[in-house]
Amino acid sequence: MSFSRPNFSEATNTRLRLKDYSPFSGMCVTCLDGCPGYCEIGRSAIRGREYIYPKPYGKVTSGSQKDYPVDFSHFNINGTCVGAQGVAADPDVATFPNVDIELRLGDIKLRAPWFTTGLGSTFIARDNWEGVAIGSALFGTMVGVGENVCGVDPEAEFRNGKVIRSPEMERRIRLFQEWQRDGYGGVIVQENVEDSRFGTLEYVIEQLGIEFVEIKWGQGAKDIGGEIKLPDIKRAKQLKDRGYIVFPDP
Ligand code: SF4
């Protein structure tokens, strides 16, 4: 039994010709000679891997459609009639406004025990940074700057292969710092292989006051580096000059 549903998804604007399909391949139970190819296999035969990007590119975040056999809805949290934990067993004290989920992680003060995933160099992350960063700062949690932000920043400046200025990275960090309250929360900056070559962490620690970092070998979702689509040849050449693998070679 497959928990996944391969070969068609509204994320890729694809569908099947038939309602019945093979659960292993996701192909129609009869793949018809002459079908225009509505599915991911059919579309990608013409457009290549471009077609398996969720659409529209740069405007969406994507969720998995894998139907995991166990999730949190399978558990119940049951209260107790006797005693209390973390608060006095007193109905006038154990009230909703007195709930306190503050946390200390070493020297990091958090008003709530969570932080955002790394919002990296993608357009969707860039375009929504302001709300996420200011919200996290006001609430007192942590927000992550993902990988490649300096490398993909068109206005970034480099000297001897090292980043010396990135307006986009500066914007992101300053926004959080401007709205941070009482020292709660913070910004974590990720570093992948390309960032380490650019000296991204040295730049953000020494020049932008960053104290929290995450060093990456791969990515949780992919185990290899990420990839982006570029809008024009000028950007393709710029990133090639900065050392990125650009395909096809501009
Ligand atoms: S090519 Fe057409 S018939 Fe074949 S699996 Fe895809 S949608 Fe179905």
The pLDDT profile of the chain, 250 residues, written as one tens digit per residue, is 778 888 999 999 999 999 999 998 999 999 999 999 999 999 999 888 888 788 888 888 888 888 888 888 899 988 778 888 888 999 899 899 998 899 998 889 999 998 898 898 888 899 999 999 999 999 999 999 999 999 999 999 999 999 999 999 999 999 999 999 999 999 999 998 889 999 999 999 999 999 999 988 766 656 666 778 888 999 999 999 999 999 899 9
92 domain residue, yes or no: no
Q: Is 149 in the pocket of ligand 1 (CB under 6 A)?
A: no
- Ligand 1 centre from 67 Cα, in Å? 23
Enclosing domain of residue 161 = 101-241
Probe residue for ligand 1, chosen from 33, 38, 43 as the CB with the greatest number of ligand atoms within 8 Å: 38
Q: Are residues 16 and 115 in the same domain?
A: no
| Ligand 1 atom 3 nearest Cα | 31
Q: Are residues 41 and 119 in the same domain?
A: no
Residues 6 or more apart in contact with residue 181 via CB below 8 angstroms: 137, 138, 140
Q: Is 32 in the pocket of ligand 1 (CB under 6 A)?
A: yes
- Ligand 1 centre from 35 Cα, in Å? 6
Q: Are residues 105 and 194 in the same domain?
A: yes
Q: Are residues 24 and 111 in the same domain?
A: no
Q: Residue 107 has what pLDDT? A: 87
In this prediction, the answer to ipTM > 0.95 reads yes
| Ligand 1 atom 1 nearest Cα | 37
Q: Residue 43 has what pLDDT? A: 94
Q: Are residues 40 and 116 in the same domain?
A: no
| Ligand 1 atom 8 nearest Cα | 28
- Ligand 1 centre from 39 Cα, in Å? 6
Q: Residue 67 has what pLDDT? A: 86
- Ligand 1 centre from 34 Cα, in Å? 9
- Ligand 1 centre from 227 Cα, in Å? 28
Q: Is 38 in the pocket of ligand 1 (CB under 6 A)?
A: yes
Q: Are residues 115 and 233 in the same domain?
A: yes
* Domain-terminating residue out of 37, 52, 67: 52
Residues 6 or more apart in contact with residue 222 via CB below 8 angstroms: none
Domain count for the chain: 2
DSSP string, 104-169: EETTEEESSS-EEEEE-SSHHHHHHHHHHHHHHHHHT-EEEE-TTHHHH-TT-EEETTEEEE-HHH
Q: Residue 225 has what pLDDT? A: 67
